[in-house]
Amino acid sequence: MGTLERIFHAVLFEVFAVLLSIGMLMVATDHEVGSLSGTMIIVATIAMCWNFLFNWIFDQFYTGEKENRSIKLRIYHVILFEIGLLVLTIPVIAYILEVGVWEAFVMDVGITIFITIYAFTFNLAYDKARAAILKKSNAPCRCSVR
């Protein structure tokens, strides 16, 4: 996957993640949609940058055809990604929503559980769709970063 496709993947992932997360937080908290939207956009921006960096690093260690990755490796990938993201976003949520670190942690864990399931599903579907498109177009698969 080249740089341009990595950017496309990360943006597509985050657009859907932000919309779904805002909806979930509107149901679960008493914060206004405006403050939740702003918070989730900032968190998504952090996540997008982390997504790009983390996946680039991960792909350096786990090369090969992405569509052939095992379920176990995909679970490992998502857990590592989400732990790193929690470390980066809990302070941001606490600050912007003016809540304590514990409340920010609980909110972030809720989002993380939701996003973990979403990330697993999104990436599996993306990798399968990408492989099918490349196969149909007979385009070379640039699955590893060079």
Q: Which domain holds residue 52?
A: 3-137
The answer to whether position 84 is within a domain reads yes
- Are 125 and 133 in contact by the 8 Å Cβ rule? The answer is no
The answer to whether position 104 is within a domain reads yes
The answer to whether position 145 is within a domain reads no
- The residue type at 61: F
- Alpha carbon distance 93, 104 (integer Å): 6
Look at the block and give the residue holding tokens 């176990």: 72
The answer to whether position 143 is within a domain reads no
The mean of the pLDDT values for the chain is 86
User: Is 80 exceeded by the pLDDT of residue 126?
Assistant: yes
pTM score? 0.66
Q: Spell out the residues 6+ positions from residue 11 whose beta carbon is closer than 8 angstroms to its own.
A: 48
Over residues 129-141, the pLDDT tens digits come to: 889 988 888 756 5
What's the count of helices (H) and strands (E) in the chain, helices before strands?
A: 4, 0
- Alpha carbon distance 111, 105 (integer Å): 10
Q: Residue 132 — φ and ψ, nearest 5°?
A: -65, -40
Tell me how many domains the chain contains: 1
CA 45 from centroid of its chain's CA atoms: 10
The answer to whether position 142 is within a domain reads no
Over residues 29-85, the pLDDT tens digits come to: 888 889 899 999 998 889 889 988 999 999 899 887 877 888 898 889 888 998 899
The answer to whether position 119 is within a domain reads yes
The answer to whether position 146 is within a domain reads no
User: Is 90 exceeded by the pLDDT of residue 106?
Assistant: yes
The answer to whether position 91 is within a domain reads yes
Give me the pLDDT at residue 146, please: 39
| Distances 34 to 12, 37, 39, 108 between C-alpha atoms, Å | 22, 5, 9, 18
